[in-house]
């Protein structure tokens, strides 16, 4: 097993941790599994060392990351916390929607760790439960993998604080098979109250940079001639992921001529525009209200002019389900 930095446990690991008066340490704790997991990712990505360009609270906490998103309703998503990691902690976290689970295992092994979205009912009904009542979408941190034992290692479920008998106390080692099923059960319905299962063998994840590489993207000097918006990273897909999207029966959408796709979940950073002919492209996620994640091939946003297959965002009204 490779050795890697393991963060010392703190009370703010746990989204439901309370102070001596019985109040949540994180006032929005019950909704903040995503941001508590993101704080683990930032710490692991930097091996516990504060990046020089950090402007956020250090060590990062789930409450602080949630505040930096500026989103005060419901939960948040991978795209929102990846923006906070980049802008507040100079740390790149790569978002992967519709990722084959076997590729996810490889990424956990090759990087400094990952966050995984799951349907919690599978965990609730196992010895690893952090709640006996909650069963819906949830986010957990995964630090490593031991293939021989068939487990993910150093897993932090923000609910699993052992707050009363019968609940698991993390961190722990979780069976790969259990999390594979929980990831496939993830609810990807776009309408509240509906349930649409992601599908066995797929997952939504957010991952750190590969081991041995810097946790942040290189800074482009102003003299390079690259426009500031081009510094926003584009999520380039690995060939295995592209092949899976092209061969598996994934949902597709139609983008009409002139539709613009974007790098981020706003309309500040256009990436490319559909030409005169409508296109049909894979739909890989529902990252936020009013948005869809799609897969396109483009050379825009890359200084070498080489076409790459990437994930990008499109206004939901411009993406016609097929």
Q: Give the model confidence (pLDDT) of 124-178 as tens digits.
A: 999 999 999 999 999 999 999 999 999 999 999 999 999 999 999 999 999 999 9
Which two tokens mark 45? 């990505």
* DSSP conformational letter for 255: E
pLDDT for 267 equals 78
The yes-or-no verdict on residue 24 having pLDDT over 80 is yes
Domains of the chain in start order, with CATH, are 11-207 (3.90.70), 227-321 (no CATH)
Task: Identify whether the C-beta of residue 176 lies closer than 8 Å to the C-beta of residue 152.
Answer: yes
* DSSP conformational letter for 230: G
Which two tokens mark 82? 């990846």
Residue range 56-106, pLDDT digits in tens = 999 999 999 999 998 888 888 898 998 899 899 999 898 888 888 998 999
Percent of the chain with pLDDT over 90: 51
Coil, helix or strand at residue 250: coil
- How far apart are the C-alpha atoms of 195 and 45, rounded to whole Å? 33
The yes-or-no verdict on residue 296 having pLDDT over 60 is yes
Among candidates 133, 252, 138, 132, which has minimal Cα distance to 187? 138
| Banded pLDDT at 305 (limits 50, 70, 90) | confident
- How far apart are the C-alpha atoms of 22 and 160, rounded to whole Å? 18
Which two tokens mark 66? 């949630």
Q: Where are the alpha helices (DSSP H) in 187-294?
A: 239-247
Q: Mean pLDDT score of the chain, rounded to an integer?
A: 85
pLDDT for 5 equals 81
Among candidates 160, 157, 159, 196, which has minimal Cα distance to 179? 157
Q: Where are the alpha helices (DSSP H) in the chain?
A: 33-45, 62-69, 78-89, 101-110, 121-124, 176-184, 239-247
pLDDT for 250 equals 65
Distance between the two ends of the chain, CA-based, in angstroms? 45
More confident residue, 192 or 47: 47
The string of DSSP codes covering 54-85 is: --S-SS--HHHHHHHHT--SS---HHHHHHHH
Q: What residues have CB less than 8 Å from 249, skipping those under 6 apart?
A: none
pLDDT for 184 equals 93
Residue range 193-203, pLDDT digits in tens = 889 898 888 99
| Banded pLDDT at 221 (limits 50, 70, 90) | very low
- How far apart are the C-alpha atoms of 38 and 32, rounded to whole Å? 10
Phi, psi of 51 (to 5 degrees): -60, 145
| Banded pLDDT at 299 (limits 50, 70, 90) | confident
Give residue for tokens 């919690």. Answer: 120
More confident residue, 230 or 5: 5
The yes-or-no verdict on residue 214 having pLDDT over 50 is yes
| Banded pLDDT at 217 (limits 50, 70, 90) | very low
Residue range 241-293, pLDDT digits in tens = 566 566 655 678 899 999 999 887 777 778 899 999 999 988 776 655 577 88
- How far apart are the C-alpha atoms of 65 and 57, rounded to whole Å? 9
């Amino acid at each position: 097993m490779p050795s890697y930095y393991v963060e010392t446990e703190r009370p703010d690991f746990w989204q439901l941790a309370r102070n001596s008066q019985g109040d949540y340490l994180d006032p929005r704790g019950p909704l903040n599994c995503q941001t508590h997991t993101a704080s683990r990712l930032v710490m692991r990505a930097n091996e516990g060392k504060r990046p020089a360009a950090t402007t956020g609270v250090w060590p990062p906490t789930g409450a602080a990351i949630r505040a930096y998103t500026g989103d005060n309703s419901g939960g948040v998503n991978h795209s929102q916390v990846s923006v906070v990691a980049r802008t507040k902690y100079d740390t790149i976290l790569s978002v992967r929607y519709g990722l084959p689970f076997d590729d996810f295992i490889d990424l956990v092994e090759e990087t400094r760790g990952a966050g995984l979205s799951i349907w919690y009912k599978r965990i609730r009904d196992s010895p690893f439960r952090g709640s006996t009542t909650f069963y819906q979408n949830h986010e957990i941190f995964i630090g490593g993998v031991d293939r021989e034992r068939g487990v993910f290692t150093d897993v932090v479920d923000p609910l699993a604080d052992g707050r009363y008998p019968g609940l698991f106390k993390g961190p722990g080692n979780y069976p790969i098979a259990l999390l594979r099923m929980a990831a496939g059960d993830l609810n990807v319905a776009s309408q509240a109250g509906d349930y649409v299962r992601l599908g066995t063998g797929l997952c939504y994840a957010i991952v750190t940079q590969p081991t041995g590489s810097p946790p942040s993207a290189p800074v482009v000097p102003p003299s390079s001639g690259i426009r500031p918006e081009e510094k926003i990273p584009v999520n380039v897909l690995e060939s295995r992921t592209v092949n899976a999207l092209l061969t598996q029966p994934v949902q597709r959408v139609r983008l009409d001529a002139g539709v613009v796709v974007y790098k981020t979940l706003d309309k500040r950073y256009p990436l490319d525009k559909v030409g005169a002919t409508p296109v049909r492209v894979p739909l890989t996620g529902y990252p936020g209200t009013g948005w869809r994640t799609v897969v396109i091939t483009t050379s825009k946003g890359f200084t070498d002019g080489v076409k790459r297959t990437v994930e990008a965002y499109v206004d939901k009204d411009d993406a016609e389900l097929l």
